[in-house]
Amino acid sequence: MLTQGYSYAYAGPVLLKDIDGRKGIVQFYGAAFNNVDSDGDVTMPGAFTKTFAENGPTGANRIKHLRQHETRTIIGKPIELGQDTVGAVVSSQLALGSKDGDDALALYELDLFEHSFGYRIMKSHKDEAGIQYLTELAVSEFSAVTWGANRFTPLIGIKCDTKAGLDLTLARIQDREGKLVKALRHGTISDDLGYQLADELEAIQTAYKGLISLPSEPVKPAIATSESEEPSGEKALTSFLQLI
């Protein structure tokens, strides 16, 4: 019986490699090899060879580039798929001119994405410890995801038993928070995306306050207006910037 799911490499973020903002082409690692994911699986080198040949740009061309694994949110189309010693390398043409594509480019430029992929297991084996090694996968999509707000990736590591773990968690939260604030100041994001990022920022602020004491309460974003002097997505979120 085939198994399907999503893979997240918590041991190390699967991140952007390169970006051409003018052409809207991004290159990223969609999966990491030899790395235990959130389900205790390890994707092995060569696991994508058959699926890339059969369903990639040189085959049936059915692999999608989504946001948050939402099939209704196609942000791009892989134009080249490959593998190196690190993992599966995806070069994708973003759907520039569409709201989702333009928002995705803005978030890529602000380094706000990590990546994961949707798959079916075709071949695998387990070791004595129960770790499953994935040797052949059928991939349907690669997704740009966030570790904080995505429903498949809730805030992780928030409960820490050691000072080192706490320090690492605080650093990760602070880094994400800073990136979100920068994004909310970005004049090219849509109002819808702005509210999504504001929600994530509020969630992070709340989680952060569970670890240390902050002086102020989160503030709800102001009501968006159509005033031309404010960049899209910014006016509704101004109150959040006062928290930083």
Q: What local confidence, expressed as pLDDT, does residue 166 receive? A: 67
In three-state secondary structure terms, 220 is coil
pLDDT tens, N- to C-terminus, the chain (244 residues): 345 656 544 334 455 678 888 899 999 888 888 888 767 789 999 999 999 999 999 999 999 999 988 999 999 999 999 999 888 999 999 999 999 999 999 888 888 888 888 889 999 999 998 999 999 999 999 999 875 333 333 333 344 556 676 676 677 778 888 888 888 887 677 888 888 888 888 877 776 666 655 444 444 444 444 444 444 444 434 444 444 4
Q: What local confidence, expressed as pLDDT, does residue 151 receive? A: 35
pLDDT (tens digit per residue) in 53-108: 999 999 999 999 999 889 999 999 999 999 998 889 999 999 999 999 999 998 88
Q: What local confidence, expressed as pLDDT, does residue 2 receive? A: 41
Alpha-carbon span 235 to 22, nearest angstrom = 26
Q: What local confidence, expressed as pLDDT, does residue 80 receive? A: 96
pTM equals 0.68
Q: Count H helices, E strands: the chain?
A: 5, 9
Of 154, 208, 143, give the one whose Cα is nearest residue 181. Answer: 208
Residue 91: Cβ within 10 Å count: 19
Q: What local confidence, expressed as pLDDT, does residue 3 receive? A: 57
Q: Which long-range contacts (CB under 8 A, 24 or more apart) does 66-70 make?
A: 66/141, 66/142, 66/143, 66/144, 67/100, 67/104, 67/143, 67/144, 67/145, 68/143, 68/144, 68/145, 68/146, 68/150, 68/151, 68/152, 69/6, 69/116, 69/118, 69/141, 69/143, 69/145, 69/150, 69/152
Return left, alpha or beta for 68; rule: phi > 0 is left, psi -120 to 50 is alpha, else beta. Answer: left
Name the amino acid, one letter, at 37. Answer: D
Q: Tell me, letter by letter, the H, E, C secondary structure of 148-189.
A: CCCCCCCCCCCCCCCHHHHHHHHHHHHHHHHHHHHHHCCCCC
